[in-house]
Chain A
Amino acid sequence: MAEPVLNIRNLSVNYFTPRGTVQALRCINLQVPPAKVVGLVGESGCGKSTLISAVIRLMAENARVAAGEIRFLGQDMHRLSSRDLQNIRGKDMSMVFQDPMTALNPVFTVGRQMKDIQYRDAVSRKEKLKRASDMLSLVGIPDAVSRLDNYPHHFSGGMRQRITIAMALLVQPKLLIADEPTTALDATLEVQIIRLLKELQTGFQCAILFISHHLNVIAELCDFVGVMYAGELVEKGSVRDIFHRPGHPYTRALLECDPSVIAEPTRFLPTIPGEIPSLIDLPAGCIFHDRCPRAAQVCKNTPPPEVSLAEHHTAACHCLEV
């Protein structure tokens, strides 16, 4: 693999709460290669948003990086001065969130906001507005020039999300981070956004870290996939390895739960019985053992090793040892 744009090594993050220390991420290793799309999947509460907050260094007040490092374009994100950090965020690295209104200001026109985001560039106001309208056309907003004068509430939900993507890409980032950008959209808009991201990723050579509950979207968009469970990255590999040759029992169970793979209509869908363990009192052994259909005695006592299944394909599980 080429030198990764984003290199997360042995990352552990804790939240300090009155009830105890939540060990939300434990020893995460994840790389995002240049111009590739890496997807993250896993049950809610498994730590996807925590991982992103650590990467962009916008963590909750009670959060601490307990170990490890995050290198973005070779620089250690958690050692940068706040000035260097400002320069990276919204320039080399930009973000799209689930709710487009977290990125859009309701009281300014879209044109004004798209102009302001280019404040670092020494070009004329006219040029900036032109870039903005070009980018709006690119993301499929009709009549882009006249719509620069509109406020966010003049656009539908799907259009607003495309506008936030346009804004995120205006700065030509090396890495785009998207946390469930299509969750609030319906199937037709979701397809439009995926198609757009795919085109833009090829056109701008931008790497993407993409989080979604929609396995079908992950399958369609991503080159690599990481599967998280209760704060650990239990399996990672190419999109084909994960969907066609999943190794970890959790990954297998998760894929089987997807209602779109079940051909015959049924009222009772597969689930993964049991619950995520407490991240305050972590169980010994494998983190998945109390829900795993293949759990053996060793799983209850000994943490599983990371087993290599193919090039770039690894899973942490005792039953995969050869």
Chain B
Amino acid sequence: MAPLLEVDHLRVRFKTKSAVKALIEKDDDPYIDGVMGVSFAIEPGQTYGLVGESGSGKTTVARAIMGLLPVHSGAIRFHGENLVGLSRDRIKPFRRDIALMFQDPAGSLSPRLKIRSILAEPFRIHDMMPENLSVEVARLLKMVNLSPSMGDLYPHQLSGGQARRVGVARALALSPKLIIADEPTAGLDVSVQGEILNLMAQLQNDMGLSFLIITHNLAVVRHVSDHVAIMYLGRFLEQGPTQTVFHRMRHPYTQALLSAHASPDPDAVHHRISISGEIPGLVSRPRGCEFHTRCPGVQEKCRRQFPDKAGAGKDHRYFCHYPLSVPEN
């Protein structure tokens, strides 16, 4: 099947200081790389998971796909058409097909608007007001299992789980093909988290939606995503089918990240692979392999030379000079 979304060597740069300041300080490269050449594809009806430590660039990838950030280089193809560099008018129909569910629903729902106005916003922004708005609002609320009377409430009158549902309903408003969900369940307890993820799976089944899910929660990613990418300092250090990445990982960072996860058993013995120190800043990107400052298996070559991308079977890719051996079975 042709992919719905294809991201090809995407690079996003941020300016660190003003042009004048850069001139005064004789800094000829006042930029940092937020996203450093990532490539991946999402098939229709599939879920892609994006995992990584805070500040690794997950939200930046999402914002670039949404067209909310200028792209430095690379391509973002949707239905085969490259969105990078398209004029505002040409890009508009594609925008409707990609919807964003925000990282913080309570913060992103305007506190002074009633739920019905919040759900009307996407129609207004895209100049697509339906003839009968209240019918449309009721339909959206029903899709996320909320009663139509909720339309009259304000966001602060909702529980955490209900607010997330409104976030899902808002994303569904223009019948998108791809929903980008940034931390869809952060801060929810496990039972409500399950409800939201089940709702998303249900909608995916019924409507053939694709999802790009960004999360810290490895237990969630393992269940809900078909493919996963492990992000670090703006790169995908490892990516592939979820089962493969979780059980046959080749990159030391993936292994460390997965081993950090605690078990809900007080007697569990953890075999954690400790990675020391902090994630380095984007301004002081390490030379060679960018994970070498924290890698337990670092060797001389890693400090000098950036590893080539290597593959192991279908779709499985990683960057490492000394990849882990694959466990038996």
- Which chain A residues have a beta carbon within 8 Å of chain B's beta carbons? 41-45, 98, 142, 156-159, 180, 183-191, 194, 213-220, 239-240, 243-244, 253-255, 257-262, 265-272, 276
Contacts and interface: CB of A to CB of B under 8 A. Distances in A.
A259 B189 CA distance: 11
Contact of B223 (A194, A239, A262, A276): A262
Given A257-B191, A267-B223, A190 B264 contact: no
A178 to B, nearest CB: 15
A187 B194 CA distance: 19
B278 to A, nearest CB: 6
Contact of B262 (A41, A194, A267, A272): A194
B128 interface: no
Interface stretch (B17-25, B135-143, B265-273, B315-323): B265-273
Given A44-B159, A267-B223, A142 B277 contact: yes
Given A239-B266, A266-B223, A269-B223, A43 B201 contact: no
B277 A217 contact: no
A253 B264 contact: no
B7 interface: no
Contacts of A216: 261-264
Interface stretch (B69-77, B113-121, B213-221): B213-221
Contact of A43 (B54, B187, B191): B191
Contacts of A45: 159-160
A42 to B, nearest CB: 7
Contacts of B243: 265
B54 A156 contact: yes
9 contacts: A43-B189, A185-B54, A186-B53, A187-B260, A219-B262, A219-B263, A258-B190, A258-B219, A268-B201
User: Across chains A and B, which 10 residue pairs bring their CB atoms closest together, nearest first?
Assistant: A216-B262, A260-B219, A269-B194, A186-B216, A257-B190, A271-B194, A259-B219, A267-B201, A187-B260, A272-B191
A159 B52 CA distance: 16
Interface string B274-315: 010111000000000000000000000000000000000000
B84 interface: no
